[in-house]
């Protein structure tokens, strides 16, 4: 009922259809503006080809997003307020995240208010910092962004020494203009957690400022005038940077309890926790949500018969205790249950083939999707707001947009694993399985 002129093309459109998907057109057609009574409207600053894709979306509810059109499509969807398409483009870019582009995608996400993309890109940068600082993007990083990253408690580095080296590396890329920021950035280094061997090297280098090493002069300056945060106990962080830990639960089913261990990845140490007091329970799933571990379902022997159960058992790491949680909607076993934020997702299994979701704050289960590769022997984990299913092939499920996409990694096809989890931004797979035989690796 209206003609839109975009570029040099004319589009016959339905006002009602466009308004259902776009607040921009809703305001234009039904907001009392001059255009609400016009039959021919010119829209500037939009490419005709990109608008055609959005127009097709209003008719079919599907959109073809490709690497060559995703940014144009996102920017046009942002301008015309096609929120659903913008969200789908955002998820597409999240799937393209890598250590080589996470910093630029952080900046891009800020420009177009893509909060989820920014959070995912930030997570990649923080959890893969030792790799990120070797990329070309790092050298061009604005000082304010670097400051924000170095301030984060979630910056995962093997040693605080890496943070010190990060500052030197960034300054030395353009010392003439960046030296003025040296002490400000060094103030973000948690000096009390620098290793003694590293400090010894720094002291020796600072005593020879005239040598060829261009960073020696900066170290001598640091020695003469350390940052205020280094000199004040009140301003200096009293704790090291945070990091995630790994839990392993298991044992022989004919014992009265199954042991729970916690692994500290930075120190390489194991700690024994309160055991799970359950006999004859196998094929359950374990997930971490916040400070809690959730054990869901399983195969239980009562007297002489085995059967699936709908149990949910919860371990609280704060007080090292176990308690019962809300039961599953259906009994199941041989399934996986990854956690994401305050949500627990329950995946596949012998008894049921869908994806259940538990909001742990509301104690409510609901069914949200069905996997494109239904199997009982999959490994499942959550990373950056998405679920990954691994076994015979790998898929990613974006919860916000209800999209399943194949993960093309040759090393994962057609393999199966005994264990799977996400720790500090990386997926860990345990013990490849062939038939009933485990191959430790």
Q: Is the pLDDT of residue 296 over 70?
A: yes
Angle between helices 70-80 and 48-60 (to 10 degrees): 70
Q: What is the pLDDT of residue 339?
A: 64
CB 342, CB 289: distance < 8 Å: yes
Q: What is the pLDDT of residue 418?
A: 77
> How confident is the model over 211-217, as a mean pLDDT?
69
Q: What is the pTM of this model?
A: 0.79
Q: Is the pLDDT of residue 349 over 60?
A: no
pLDDT confidence tier of residue 385, bands split at 50, 70 and 90: confident
**In the CATH hierarchy, which fold is given to the domain comprising 142-231?**
1.25.40
CATH superfamily of 246-439: Kelch-type beta propeller (2.120.10.80)
pLDDT confidence tier of residue 79, bands split at 50, 70 and 90: very high
188-207 per-position pLDDT tens digit: 999 888 888 888 887 777 66
Report domain extents, the chain.
2-96, 142-231, 246-439
> How confident is the model over 261-271, as a mean pLDDT?
84
119-169 per-position pLDDT tens digit: 999 999 999 999 999 999 999 999 999 999 999 999 999 889 999 999 999
Question: How much of the chain, in percent, has pLDDT values that exceed 70?
Answer: 90
Q: What is the pLDDT of residue 354?
A: 65
User: Considering the chain, what is the average pLDDT of its residues?
Assistant: 86
Q: Is the pLDDT of residue 254 over 80?
A: yes
pLDDT confidence tier of residue 346, bands split at 50, 70 and 90: low
Q: What is the pLDDT of residue 350?
A: 47
406-435 per-position pLDDT tens digit: 888 877 877 888 778 888 888 888 778 776
CATH superfamily of 2-96: Potassium Channel Kv1.1; Chain A (3.30.710.10)
The label of the residue with tokens 């199997």 reads 375
Q: What is the pLDDT of residue 352?
A: 46
């Amino acid at each position: 009922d209206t003609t839109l002129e975009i570029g040099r093309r004319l589009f016959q459109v339905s006002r009602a259809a466009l308004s259902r998907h776009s607040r921009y057109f809703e305001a234009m057609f039904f907001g009392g503006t001059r255009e609400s009574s016009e039959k021919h409207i010119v829209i500037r600053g939009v490419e005709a080809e990109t608008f055609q894709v959005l127009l097709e979306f209003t008719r079919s509810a599907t959109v073809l997003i490709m690497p060559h059109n995703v940014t144009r499509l996102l920017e046009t969807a942002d301008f015309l307020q096609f929120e659903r398409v913008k969200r789908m483009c955002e998820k597409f870019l999240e799937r393209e995240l890598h250590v080589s582009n996470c910093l630029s995608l952080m900046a891009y996400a800020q420009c177009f208010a893509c909060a989820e993309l920014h959070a995912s890109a930030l997570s990649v940068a923080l959890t893969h910092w030792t790799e990120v600082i070797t990329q070309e993007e790092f050298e061009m990083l604005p000082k304010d962004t670097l400051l924000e990253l170095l301030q984060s408690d979630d910056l995962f580095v093997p040693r605080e020494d890496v943070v010190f080296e990060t500052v030197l590396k960034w300054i030395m890329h353009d010392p003439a203009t960046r030296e003025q920021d040296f002490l400000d950035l060094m103030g973000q280094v948690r000096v009390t957690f620098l290793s003694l061997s590293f400090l010894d090297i720094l002291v020796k280098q600072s005593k020879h400022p005239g040598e060829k090493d261009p960073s020696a002069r900066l170290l001598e300056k640091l020695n003469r005038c350390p940052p205020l945060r280094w000199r004040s106990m009140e301003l200096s962080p009293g704790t090291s940077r945070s990091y995630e830990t790994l839990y392993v639960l298991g044992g022989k089913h004919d014992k009265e309890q199954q042991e729970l261990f916690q692994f500290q990845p930075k120190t390489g140490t194991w700690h024994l926790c309160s055991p799970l007091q359950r006999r004859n329970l196998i094929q359950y799933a374990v997930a971490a949500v916040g400070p809690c571990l959730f054990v869901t379902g399983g195969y239980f022997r009562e007297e002489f018969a085995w059967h699936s159960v709908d149990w949910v058992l919860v371990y609280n790491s704060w007080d090292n205790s176990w308690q019962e949680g809300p039961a599953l909607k259906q009994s199941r076993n041989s399934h996986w249950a990854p956690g994401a934020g305050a949500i627990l997702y329950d995946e596949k299994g012998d008894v049921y083939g869908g994806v259940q979701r538990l909001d742990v704050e509301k104690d409510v289960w609901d069914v949200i999707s069905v996997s494109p590769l239904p199997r009982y022997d999959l490994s499942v984990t959550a990373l950056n707001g998405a679920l990954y299913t691994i076994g015979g092939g790998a898929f990613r499920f974006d919860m916000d947009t209800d999209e399943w996409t194949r993960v093309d990694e040759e090393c994962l096809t057609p393999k199966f694993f005994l264990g799977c989890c996400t720790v500090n931004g990386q997926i860990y797979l345990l013990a490849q399985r062939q038939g009933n035989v485990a191959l430790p690796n």
